[in-house]
Amino acid sequence: MIISLIVPCYNEEESLPFLYKALCEVRSSEEGKGREFEFIFVNDGSCDNTLKVIKDFAASDSSVRYVSLSRNFGKESAMYAGLRKARGGYVAILDADMQDPPSLIPQMIKDLDSGNWDIVAARRVTRAGEPRIRSFFARTFYKLINRMCDVEIADGARDFRLMRREVVDAILLLSERQRFSKGIFSWVGFRTKWLEHENTERVAGETKWSFWKLFRYAVDGIVSFTIAPLRLATYAGFASAFAAFIYLIYYFIRAVILRIYDTVPGYPSLLCFMLFIGGLILMALGLLGEYIGRTYIETKGRPIYISAEESPSKPDEDLCSRDNLTSQDT
Residues that bind Mg ion (CB under 5 A): 95, 97, 99, 202
Shortest distance in whole angstroms from residue 209 CB to ligand UDP: 5
The one of ligand UDP, Mg ion, none whose footprint includes residue 218, by CB under 5 to 8 A per kind, is none
The residue among 8 and 229 lying less far from Mg ion, judged by its C-beta, is 8
Give the whole-angstrom CA distance, residue 78 versus residue 121. Answer: 19
Give the whole-angstrom CA distance, residue 5 versus residue 14. Answer: 19
Give the whole-angstrom CA distance, residue 73 versus residue 19. Answer: 22
The residue among 7 and 223 lying less far from Mg ion, judged by its C-beta, is 7
Residue 3: its H or E element: strand 2-9
Cβ-contact 169, 322 below 8 angstroms: yes
The one of ligand UDP, Mg ion, none whose footprint includes residue 8, by CB under 5 to 8 A per kind, is ligand UDP
Shortest distance in whole angstroms from residue 95 CB to Mg ion: 5
Q: Interface residues with ligand UDP (CB under 6 A)?
A: 8-10, 12, 44, 72, 74-75, 78, 95-97, 99, 202, 207-209
The residue among 12 and 38 lying less far from ligand UDP, judged by its C-beta, is 12
**Which of 86, 47, 237 shows the shortest CA–CA distance to 169?**
86
Neighbours of 163 (CB within 10 A): 29
Q: Which residues pair with 4 in a beta bridge?
A: 38, 91
The one of ligand UDP, Mg ion, none whose footprint includes residue 44, by CB under 5 to 8 A per kind, is ligand UDP
Shortest distance in whole angstroms from residue 78 CB to ligand UDP: 4
The one of Mg ion, ligand UDP, none whose footprint includes residue 76, by CB under 5 to 8 A per kind, is none
Q: Which amino acid, one-letter code, is at 216?
A: R
Both ends of the chain: CA-CA distance in Å? 25
Give the whole-angstrom CA distance, residue 271 versus residue 278. Answer: 10
Shortest distance in whole angstroms from residue 181 CB to ligand UDP: 11
The residue among 138 and 320 lying less far from ligand UDP, judged by its C-beta, is 138
The residue among 202 and 294 lying less far from Mg ion, judged by its C-beta, is 202
Dihedral-angle region of residue 40 (phi above 0 means left; psi in -120 to 50 means alpha; beta otherwise): beta
Cβ-contact 183, 109 below 8 angstroms: no
The residue among 114 and 126 lying less far from Mg ion, judged by its C-beta, is 126
Shortest distance in whole angstroms from residue 180 CB to ligand UDP: 14
Shortest distance in whole angstroms from residue 206 CB to Mg ion: 9
